[in-house]
Amino acid sequence: MSAAPKPPVIVWFRQDLRLADNPALSHAAQSGRPVVPVYILDDQTPGPWAPGGASRWWLHHSLAALSGALAGPGCPLILRRGRADVALRALVRETGAEAVVWNRCYEPHAIARDSTLKADLKAEGIAVDSFNAALLVEPWTVKTGTGGPYKVFTPFWKAVREGLDPGRPEPTPRHLATLPTPPDSDRLEDWGLLPTKPDWAGGLRDSWTPGEAGAQQRLTDFLARAVARYPEGRDYPAQPLTSRLSPHLHHGEISPRQIWAAAQAQAKTQGSDGVDSFLRELGWREFCHHLLYHFPFLPERPLNPKFEAFTWDDNAGHLAAWQRGLTGYPIIDAGMRELWATGWMHNRVRMVVGSFLVKHLLLPWTAGQAWFWDTLVDADLANNAAGWQWIAGCGADAAPYFRVFNPVLQGEKFDATGEYVRRWVPELAGLPDRVLHQPWTADPITLRAAGVRLGHDYPHPVVEHKAARQRALDTFAAIRDDND
């Protein structure tokens, strides 16, 4: 007489869309039980932080890649849509599962949902385990000497590095037991994740390969070709010297532990300078999650309470010009157009366009955060909120209020030959380098020879730099003085 089949274990995929170094999946595989992998499209629980348009495009293709990878061992990915807690409990009933596993998420809404769901499932006799698959260290394990959270990056990263031992990444499970008949699944195409109007698909397809294989290839290429020049080259947007791993990390197609292990192996052959600089950026990601965990209001309110009373401008025309890349400042417009076309923007340029929004235009950092949330393929709640608060000067380890990036000087320094601007602002391509980053200073003959009519082919600056800078200094200084 054959033994009764074991009840299955459900693996709830979220921001961990990979097979290798996936602790929840490895745990399920090692149990010997049939594995039911599921992804639930929960548009309700996140509230305003449901995935934006570019993230939804990425998610569609990442899920397609994950589904294909799971099809190899004959373990189909089940797709469900609705409130995650409701959909997951329904799947438990349908399959008779006696265990559910997942990898942890760290957004406030996810922590609240998962904590309640774990308690409810355990009360019903369902075994639940959760794992860390997204960070090098858990946010609650790094504490200052007084036992509180860090608010400054450098001592945070020093503390992390001193005791850090991420361990070896886990391999892809060799075998996944499956149910004879899988549960019903939605069709990915019916979820409507791909954009229709506006259609980002062309530029995104040309720029990215979502999925675990694409993430591994990008890491391999970066370590082989660029990491040695990363410390200096990372500031130059026309040069392909950044890793561009951020969307793969956000969607969990690669783990920070895999990146850490590969980078350390590379350091043994190429030296550690480039690797250390690169891993410091991985540390900034850890710091952002540390902040969001300890200050869950970060996406909505300034960490520095002085800024609660700050009076931002509400000029809709200026916001639209910034969003569309029509500010009249070439480096700003190049960055915003790169974002719209590819779903990504070079990090140096992110700082410059962010500073321009909050300092030159005095528009709220939350408006920039919202635009990035919808248009970035790497839109990550922790990184986005912490980054924008840093730029605005109201967050942790923030840029000082008097730091106002000059968009002309930034362009001339980091895009001296104009390659980046000419790519993304082609109407200015004929201008010589000496006036490319400030076309309003070009004489009529030069403009005519380049085929540029200011105010027609390309806008005049929406604000004058010197005056806008002084307004920003006065406004931000007033907030500081009022609260001293």
Residues belonging to the active site: 281, 284, 312, 347, 365, 388
State yes or no: 243 annotated in a binding site: yes
Q: Is 181 annotated as a binding residue?
A: no
Strand partners, 9: 35, 99
Task: Say which residue the tokens 């190429």 belong to.
Answer: 270
Contacts 24+ apart (CB under 8 A), 143-146: none
Whether residue 482 is annotated as binding a ligand: the answer is no
80 is in an annotated binding site: no
Burial (CB < 10 A; 0-12, 13-18, 19+), residue 8, is buried
Q: Is 153 annotated as a binding residue?
A: no
The token duo for 461 is 């600056």
**Distance between alpha carbon 199 and the CA centroid of its chain, in Å?**
21
Q: Is 249 annotated as a binding residue?
A: no
Distance separating alpha carbons of residues 27 and 131, to the nearest angstrom: 9
What span, in angstroms and rounded, lies between the C-alpha atoms of 182 and 75?
8
Token code pair at residue 280: 């410091």
**Pick from 432, 208, 456: which is nearest to 421 by CA?**
432
- The answer on whether 278 is annotated among ligand-binding residues is yes
- Tell me whether residue 262 is annotated as binding: no
HEC per residue, the chain: CCCCCCCCEEEEECCCCCCCCCHHHHHHHHCCCCEEEEEEECCCCCHHHCCCHHHHHHHHHHHHHHHHHHHCCCCCCEEEECCHHHHHHHHHHHHCCCEEEEECCCCHHHHHHHHHHHHHHHHCCCEEEEECCCCCCCHHHCCCCCCCCCCCHHHHHHHHHHHCCCCCCCCCCCCCCCCCCCCCCCCHHHHCCCCCCCCCHHHHHHHCCCCHHHHHHHHHHHHHHCHHHHHHHCCCCCCCCCCCCHHHHHCCCCCHHHHHHHHHHHHHHHCCHHHHHHHHHHHHHHHHHHHHHHCCCCCCCCCCHHHHHCCCCCCHHHHHHHHHCCCCCHHHHHHHHHHHHHCCCCHHHHHHHHHHHHHHCCCCHHHHHHHHHHHCCCCCHHHHHHHHHHHHCCCCCCCCCCCCCCHHHHHHHHCCCCHHHHHHCHHHCCCCHHHHCCHHHCCHHHHHHHCCCECCCECCCCCCHHHHHHHHHHHHHHHHHHHC
How does 304-315 read in b/e, with b if 16+ C-beta sit within 10 Å? beebeebebeee
Known binding positions for FAD: 230, 242-246, 278, 378-380
Known binding positions: 230, 242-246, 278, 378-380
